[in-house]
Amino acid sequence: MSIIFVGLPGSGKTTIGRQLARRLGVPFVDSDHVIEHRLGCSIREFFAREGEGSFRDVEQQVLDDLTQTHEGVIATGGGSVLREANRRHLHERGHVIYLRSTPEDVFRRVRHDTARPLLQVDDPLSRLRALFEARDPLYRNAAHFVIETGRPSVATLVNMIVMQLELAGHLPAQAPTPAPAQPAASP
């Protein structure tokens, strides 16, 4: 069963997901990269040419495939929870972690990122606030765990996630590493 990240664009799904996969020694996949590979073009291009409905159809098929076949960590696109079928598949087929970031935290992290179509508007912070308002209940609906991202480092967030998964019995508890033996003191 996979560990699946949901959350606003810029909440850290790919960054934290990649680090968690490395820590657990499992494969990582970003559903947006799989979608772009399948489309043969960027999501932005496809979205502009074919519209949101067509994009969401492709996204739903990719998420359905990934949640049935991928054993590891999956980072999803920010809008992956907009369709009820996606929320159901994510929740039933994986351990879903909602990286809950405030719009202000996301804006602070990605305000200089020109590759994010989301921020290419007159008032990106207002756009993030509107997305948060609409999607927060949907992310919560799909999630098994909610992690408040705030300002902790990626390493701290990965540690928090591992601990939550261990406590829930989804990962074997890590045995504490024994301290190295100290040489006996010479008389």
Average pLDDT score, the chain: 90
Task: Answer yes or no: is 78 a known binding residue.
Answer: yes
> Which residues constitute the domain of residue 100?
2-167
CATH code of 162's domain: 3.40.50.300
Answer yes or no: is 160 within a domain.
yes
Contact predicate 28/75, CB 8 Å: yes
Q: Does the pTM of the predicted model rise above 0.85?
A: yes
Answer yes or no: is 176 within a domain.
no
Answer yes or no: is 104 within a domain.
yes
Task: Answer yes or no: is 129 a known binding residue.
Answer: no
Answer yes or no: is 139 within a domain.
yes
- Cross-strand pairs, 100: 148
How does pLDDT run across 25-58, given as a tens digit for each residue? 999 999 999 999 999 999 889 988 999 899 999 9
- Cross-strand pairs, 30: 75
- Based on the structure, what is the number of domains in the chain? 1
Task: Answer yes or no: is 18 a known binding residue.
Answer: no
Task: Answer yes or no: is 44 a known binding residue.
Answer: no
Task: Answer yes or no: is 10 a known binding residue.
Answer: yes
Task: Answer yes or no: is 22 a known binding residue.
Answer: no
The whole-number average pLDDT for the span 149-167 is: 93
Number of helices (H), then strands (E), belonging to the chain: the values are 8, 5
pLDDT band (50, 70, 90) for residue 174: low
Task: Answer yes or no: is 88 a known binding residue.
Answer: no
Answer yes or no: is 183 within a domain.
no
How does pLDDT run across 84-140, given as a tens digit for each residue? 999 999 999 999 999 999 999 999 888 777 667 667 788 989 999 999 999 999 999
SS3 readout for 100-126: ECCHHHHHHHHCCCCCCHHHCCCCHHH
Task: Answer yes or no: is 123 a known binding residue.
Answer: no
Task: Answer yes or no: is 126 a known binding residue.
Answer: no
Answer yes or no: is 18 within a domain.
yes
